[in-house]
Amino acid sequence: MSTKSNDNRATAGANSASPTTGTAPLENRRLRDETLSSGSRFLTSLKLELAYFGGHAWLKRQGAGVILRFERVRPRRAGRFQPLRSHEVAPAFLDRTIRALKRWKYDFVSIDEVCRRAVILAQRRRFVCLTFDGAYKDIVTSAYPVLSRHRVPFTVYLPTAFPDGIGEAWWLALERVIAKERRISLMMGRNERHFNVSSVAEKYELYDFLSHWLRSLEAADLSAAIKDLCSRYGVDLAALSRQAALDWSDLTTLAADPLVTLGGATVNFPVLSTMKDAAALKEMTMGKAVIEAALRRDVRHFAYPFGDRKSWQRRHMALVEDAGFVSAVSSIPGVVQEAGHTPLLALPRIGWDGRQRSLRAMRVILAGAAPL
């Protein structure tokens, strides 16, 4: 759900896409940016491969273990415009990953055990904890068969508006609108903006720009903006969100499995840094209370929505504790250190890029032997 655009690039992209200025500059620059981005990913992959063959994965291991972060687990899809592809892995890759982690002698542990190992001296074997964000339906349809076959523990962080059928997966709606249209107009503040998106390159550019903008808005303004966009272009935001999300029947199935931990992720999955503290605390406490009432299980662990450095701040750690949680995970990459060196209310996680399928690269990253 995160974007790599910066303000200058986003503004330039918006202006270049204006029908009064033409689309050629935008397309040429975007294609150049895509080439640079692909080249950067190639160089990173090459460095990781070289680090693997240089022995970094076992000679320079750091920390007590790692928390892996997944979002969607589903079969690979055809189509050139997939702005969220980096957040997806195929069921077969999840299976390969678990098999590889077993070969590498990792201990599969629950998030409760992560909290225990984070405050004691390092154990002989490093741990891995599997976590899933977003409350997607494919956790049950695609991921759970793999996880249950391997009998490994995992954690699902749940924003409760989605199983309630009232969550707004604006990132999916934005993808749907841009995918099917060649020209898009919307209100941004007090101005109506127009974008030509006839090429795939322009669609990626606009998705980056608009997702960055939407995440900067307060919750009510974000909701109004995405509803306006969906209304203009015939996308049923409510139906799309319900179709993608777990329901309470799915969650009852998961809750019955002792290997599954259910954690909180607020009610509506807002960007906490755009909210006042009282509203953020209410989101945390209400989400926790809803899960506990519906599934009759204690909810002790939390995930910051989106989880990157811009979406939450240090002050939110105190709010998480006030809400009654004992741990909180981010999407800031890193390994979990031993002996209390990693705060339990700011646990790092490694989110795997679904475009990268090298297990050798994964082994180097999980060892903490490469910059993230």
Q: By C-alpha distance, which of 144, 129, 73, 138 is closest to 350?
A: 129
Q: By C-alpha distance, which of 242, 263, 280 is closest to 164?
A: 242
Please say whether the beta carbons of 261 and 156 come within 8 A.
yes
User: Which pair of structure tokens corresponds to residue 315?
Assistant: 């002050």
Q: Where are the domains of the chain?
A: 7-38+168-240, 64-165+245-366
User: Which pair of structure tokens corresponds to residue 270?
Assistant: 């807002």
| pLDDT score recorded for residue 55 | 58
| pLDDT score recorded for residue 354 | 87
The string of DSSP codes covering 104-125 is TTPEE--HHHHHHHTTSPPPSS
CA angle 73, 75, 80 (to 5 degrees): 105
Q: In this predicted model, what pLDDT tens digit does every residue of 327-358 receive, in sequence order?
A: 999 999 999 999 999 999 999 999 988 888 78
- The β-bridge relationship of strands 183-188 and 191-196 is antiparallel
Q: Which CATH class is domain 64-165+245-366?
A: alpha beta
Question: Which amino acid is located at 162 in the chain?
Answer: F
| pLDDT score recorded for residue 361 | 85
Number of H helices, E strands in the chain: 15, 12
Q: Is the dihedral of CA 48, 49, 50, 53 positive or negative?
A: positive
* pLDDT less than 50: residues of the chain: 1-37, 43, 51-53, 59
| pLDDT score recorded for residue 41 | 53
Residue 328 to residue 347: CA distance in whole angstroms: 6
Helices 219-233 + 170-180 axis angle, to 10: 30
| pLDDT score recorded for residue 111 | 98
| pLDDT score recorded for residue 368 | 78
